[in-house]
Amino acid sequence: MSAFVGQLRSNRPAIDIAKGPGSITIRVEASDLWETVRVTASPSTTAMEVMERVVAALFPAGDLVADFVLKLRGWEVLDPRASLADVGVVDGSILLLAYRRRRAVR
């Protein structure tokens, strides 16, 4: 686990999808909330599963997963059914969770 992800300061508990040997720790940031959560998962975990778990944790009001995109290094993950390893996520990666479309400022 990278030191940057391991020293994450967040009031939210980590999301453990898979633990044990071979698991990776990543950081997922929600752009509109300025919130961050640490996720422990297997490299074979799908990007969609990570997105579902993070949306449920950060948006308890019931926002739909289809309203969000997951980005790695500024690029949208085009196939959320692909595994984290296939997408290019490694231990210590940072993913951005953003709304698919711009939202009006109120």
Its domain, for residue 70, covers 3-99
Phi, psi of 37 (to 5 degrees): -140, 145
How many distinct structural domains can be found in the chain? 1
Q: Global pTM?
A: 0.81
Residues composing the chain: 106
65-70 long-range contacts, Cβ below 8 Å, gap at least 24?
66/100, 67/99, 67/100, 67/101, 68/97, 68/98, 68/99, 68/100, 69/97, 69/98, 69/99, 69/100, 70/28, 70/95, 70/96, 70/97
Gyration radius of the chain's alpha carbons: 13
- pLDDT-based confidence at 9, cuts 50/70/90? low
Question: What CATH number is associated with residue 65?
Answer: 3.10.20.90
Instruction: Please indicate, yes or no, if residue 48 is contained in any of the structural domains.
Output: yes
- pLDDT-based confidence at 8, cuts 50/70/90? low
* pLDDT at residue 66, rounded to an integer: 85
Would the pLDDT of 14 be above 90? Answer: no
pLDDT digits (tens, 9 = 90+) for 19-38: 889 999 999 998 877 889 99
